[in-house]
Homo-oligomer: A and B are copies of this chain.
Amino acid sequence: MGLADKDHISELSDSSAIKICYKGRPECVCTHCAVRFISICAALDQDELEELEAMSQSASFPPKAGLFSQDEPVISLFSITEGVVRLYKLLPDGRRQIVGFALPGDFLGSSLPARFGVSADAVTSVVACRFSRQGFSTYIDDKPRLLKKLHEFASNELTLAQEQIVLLGRRSAEERIAAFLISLRDRMRRVGHVSVTLSLPMSRQDIADFLGLTIETVSRTFTKLAKDKRILIVPDGVRLTDPDRLEQLATG
């Protein structure tokens, strides 16, 4: 992706893509939000929810649009309500490592850093609540419950990161793919998506860059798992034919 392209996307996300959510609406829409009870908002009572809604905007991003870039000062924080976001780091020579995928309910910036440690862009169409860092940061100062919830979110991220470290440091390609599928299924479940068919909106290249493999190895490993009847490859995803054996593979 060239610079010009990137600028175009930034522009998008700064103007046309953003719609004011609270102002001009007859009532609090957050009350009926799909991620009301799994996002940080779960820590809020009705009054607080309305307060926070007043200081938030809804932002939509088309696939591939950037939410923010590594090392950039943190102006906005995001709570994802729809879609999938990839979080990644780039090395100077162009190698990319995806450190995680954010799903609905996830909060980007939970550690309240001054600058982003990773870049983020939309894999699918994404809808997020955007908070100004300033406003959010001062708002939580006398909201210990919200601060604790944020801490909890940051802790979960750390746990996921440590599991990723084990995966990358000590597991084979087949184990990585199995662990990826199981972990994604489990996270989708928590978000309310219960199904044997797992949708994989990200490309093979994304999966490869997440698992520390090449696209060819990812492809071959999928084919192998399919031949062994542990998964069935379907358009835009896989069906977990034998989740138990897959889980066993994933665990080691």
Contacts and interface: CB of A to CB of B under 8 A. Distances in A.
Interface of A: 89, 91-93, 95-97, 99, 111-113, 117-118, 141-142, 144, 147-148, 150-151, 154-155, 157-159, 161-162, 164-166, 168-170, 209, 211-212, 251-252
Contacts of A155: 111-113, 154
Contact of A166 (B91, B93, B147, B157): B91
Given A91-B252, A151-B111, A162 B117 contact: yes
Contacts of A113: 155, 159
A95 B161 CA distance: 18
Nearest to A157: B158
By DSSP majority rule, is chain A's interface helix, strand, loop, or mixed? Answer: helix
A117 B162 CA distance: 8
A3 B92 CA distance: 46
Contacts of A211: 169
A249 B117 CA distance: 20
7 contacts: A111-B154, A117-B159, A154-B158, A158-B161, A161-B161, A161-B165, A168-B168
A147 B141 CA distance: 10
A164 B166 contact: no
Contact of A169 (B111, B157, B168): B168
Contacts of A209: 169
A168 B98 CA distance: 12
Residue of A93, A148, A168 with most chain B CB atoms under a 10 A cut-off: A168
